[in-house]
Structure 1
Amino acid sequence: MRIIYLLFFLLFIAGCSKGPAPAPTVAFGYNRNVFEVGEKIEVVNKSQNVTRYEWFIDSSRDSVKTDANPIFNGRTTVGTHTITLEGYNADGVKNEAVNPFQVGERRLSLVRITAVNLSRPNGQPWHADGSGPDVYVVLTSPTGVVIRTVDYTNVQASTLPLIAAFFNNSEPILRNGNWSLQFYDNNGGRTPELMFTMPIVLTAPPADRNVDGYGTYTFQSGNYAAKFEINTL
């Protein structure tokens, strides 16, 4: 009997000696620093000693998430947004972290014309005097908005790539859809002549986009090629 009492006593002592749960350390980040409008927000959880999570975005508790690594629907407005995490340990002690993130639109910051046909399809020079084409480029959006570059006179292999600057929109928004890039010879200021039309289909951000929203598209068709540099602003 004494042995049984002793066992109960030891169990009682062990139960009483159990200390509080470790304090929760609440921390998290994101899979990127800048997101596109509408792009899903992936959270990277770095918390410790947390057994229960409550996440909410932009101070809205209408859709609190409770999993460890939630994915939030993309934001519809450009600017700074925040996600808040309230983490609780096994004793219900709460700690909190708030992290901002940026949302922007995919913008065309620069176009490099890397290849053009320096002679006509029949092999003849573009101009009677043998000079190269006076190239300008027109970018047409899915809604028909036309953006024109400046002229580049007497284009030769040695002058490529051309760094295209646009007249009426320095950083157009590159939304998904069917675009076209048209190459013209301005013909020394006379009647412009269409050299080539390159169809461009955008369905997603550039594959090489970094966490800050910079990336490039490369397009090539026939003897024509262009490289788009994009930023997310």
Structure 2
Amino acid sequence: MKNLLKLLFLTLFVTLYSCNKDDGPSIIPTTLFTQDRQFIEADEQITFTNNSTDAVSYTWDFGDTKTSNEENPVHTYTTTGDFVVTLTATSETGDQSTSTRSVTVGERWVVALGVESIPFEDQNGDPWDADNSGPDLLFGFTQADAETFSPYNITDGLDVQASDLPFGGTLPPANQEILTDEDWAFIFIDNDEPLDDLNQSTVMASFLINPVTVASEKDYSDGTGTFVFESLGFSFIIAFEIRN
């Protein structure tokens, strides 16, 4: 009889313990994460730092068909686009919560030009204009193998003097282009009279630059960047934005 009572007591204890465990409070995780870059170019890496609490496992969806179960993953995007990154955190009770952030993977769009210096004489030592009034600058850029391009006047028809330097500004929307991973020609022209006839103008200098692989300063938080080029007395800054 005593053995039977012990068995019944043990069975009741196990049953109560199991019920209390199953009916215990849920643990809802807090899901948070940060990323070291907001705007990147294709084939660049982005590092995610997991700041979640009360979680035992994680699932990352990077928005490009790729996923990960690492706690702090590093991911490479190979195509351009706007991607939503989702982190799902799971607690020991199986409860889940999610958090999302965005990543923009774009290309370099040239948006502005700054001219730091130009020579006021050609390679023969002669002034660009016979009256020594200074060049009326046109500036343009195009793929190196392109047959034509459309320069624009960066001085509003005025001759440039040394006292005018440095100067610059935003490019007209029609001149804002995607800078591809190849050689581009960046061209300075002295626009002589008549101003609407480029045959009467003089190419001051043309520089071949790969605007993607050239050493650049980039701000990965807002997608802006610049690169500087100096040669033959010319010094200029190209500003770009990383966007789709």
TM-score over 0.5 for the alignment?
Answer: yes
> Which deviates more, 148-157 or 109-118?
148-157
Q: Which residue of 2 aligns with 1:67?
A: 70
- Supply the distance in 2 between the matched residues of 1:199 and 1:142 (Cα, whole angstroms): 7
TM-score, normalised by the number of residues in structure 1:
0.78
- Secondary structure at the counterpart of residue 169 of structure 1: helix
How far the C-alpha of 1:223 sits from its partner, in A, is 0.2
Change (3 A) 1:167 1:99: closer
Q: Which residue of 1 aligns with 2:209?
A: 200
Per-residue CA deviations over 1:111-166 (Å, capped at 9, x if unaligned) read 11221111122322222222111221221225627341215332111122342665
- Computed over aligned residues only, the root mean square deviation of the Cα atoms, in angstroms, reads 3.0
Counting matched residue pairs gives 216
CA contact (8 A) 2:154 2:168 kept: no
- Supply the distance in 1 between the matched residues of 2:130 and 2:215 (Cα, whole angstroms): 43
2:129 is the counterpart of 1:127: yes
Q: Which residue of 2 aligns with 1:215?
A: 225
Q: Which residue of 2 aligns with 1:107?
A: 109
| Counterpart residue identity of residue 76, structure 1 | T
Q: Which residue of 2 aligns with 1:116?
A: 118
- Supply the distance in 2 between the matched residues of 1:167 and 1:23 (Cα, whole angstroms): 52
CA contact (8 A) 1:115 1:223 kept: yes
Q: Which runs of 5+ in 1 are unaligned?
A: 1-15
How far the C-alpha of 1:107 sits from its partner, in A, is 1.1
CA contact (8 A) 1:150 1:165 kept: no
Q: 2:187 aligns with which of 176, 182, 201?
A: 182
- Supply the distance in 2 between the matched residues of 1:168 and 1:53 (Cα, whole angstroms): 44
- Supply the distance in 1 between the matched residues of 2:108 and 2:64 (Cα, whole angstroms): 26
| Counterpart residue identity of residue 123, structure 1 | G
Q: Which residue of 2 aligns with 1:160?
A: 165
Show the 5 A alignment for 1:27-176: 27-58=32-63, 60=65, 63-74=66-77, 76-78=79-81, 80-142=82-144, 144=146, 146-150=149-153, 152=155, 153-163=158-168, 169-176=174-181
Q: Which has the larger radius of gyration?
A: 2
TM-score, normalised by the number of residues in structure 2:
0.75
| Counterpart residue identity of residue 130, structure 2 | A
Q: Which residue of 2 aligns with 1:10?
A: none
Q: Which runs of 5+ in 2 are unaligned?
A: 1-16
